[in-house]
Amino acid sequence: MDPVSSQAIKLQDYVSGGYYLARLREAGVERPVSARLPRRYISASTCLCEFFTDSWVWDNAGPMDGAGNFVKGIRGFEERLASAARFGITAERLPDVIRWGQLRCGRDFGFPRGFYRLIDARRATDWISLPPEAFVTFGIGLHRSLSEKFLQVMTKHEDCTTALCVREGLEISGEGVPLGHELLNVECGHPCHSWICGGAENNFVERMQLTLNQHGYIDEFATALECTQVIERGEIPGEPGPWFPWLIVHYT
């Protein structure tokens, strides 16, 4: 499998799957260390990154009055605070974040995570207080040739962020830098496990001479698609399918 530079990727060939604000899980502490991956590895999988927003932001927090106050307090406050703290959000600021999440879910961002537009993702970074090396803004893109197949898989999860973006045929913002393709399966209506979660990248490199780029991704779409098919056929172990190659686009 010969490498093709990610610089040759044309964003117009892809449809947006949404934009994501992610805290990078620390290699060797929160995820396994891999000699084939950079320590700062960007992934759309919750096994490898933690996301803002997620259910602790948008899940029903209780009734609010006309002024936006939680009349009975915030339901599950301590559990939400534990998640918020990992994004540098304090107990004093958490009610404002939850209030924002209750009002903007379905407008700026969707289920279970992911923003519809880059501008809304960037605005939401104001809530987060993390050092630059621990946090990233990125988008995911699906090759347009796979849109119909993906939407067929998503018929029972049409309200999820990725399905809504793909159905609308939203273009990926050209402000970012394409890093390459990550292989992800679909569970419960959204990209879930990365091929990295089970170490499949090692099998591909050792058995099929796959070359990963400096970011830990596959440059060429055709090669990435072939790899998903290999996993689905069971030739290399992986989580249950279906699997899709998603383009990772980094934004600053």
Q: What is the pLDDT of residues 14-39, one digit of tens each?
A: 999 999 999 998 877 778 778 888 98
At 43, the pLDDT band (50, 70, 90 cuts) reads: very high
Give the burial class of 13: count Cβ atoms within 10 A of its Cβ; 0-12 exposed, 13-18 middle, 19 or more buried: middle
Spatial CB neighbours of 30, under 8 Å, sequence gap ≥ 6: none
pLDDT tier for residue 5 given thresholds of 50, 70 and 90:
low
Give the amino acid at 147: S
- pLDDT tier, 6 (very low <50, low <70, confident <90, very high otherwise): low
Measure the CA–CA gap between 162 and 165, rounded to whole angstroms.
Answer: 5
| pTM above threshold 0.85 | yes
**141 — pLDDT class (breaks 50, 70, 90):** very high
> What are 109's strand-pairing partners?
105, 115
Residue 2, pLDDT score: 41
pLDDT at residue 3 in the model = 43
Collapsed DSSP state (helix, strand, coil) of residue 118: helix
Beta strands at 243-251 and 177-187: parallel, antiparallel or unpaired = antiparallel
Please give the Cα distance from 84 to 72 (Å, whole number). 20
Residue 1 has a pLDDT of 41
The rounded distance, in Å, linking the Cα atoms of 76 and 61 is: 7
DSSP annotation of 189: T
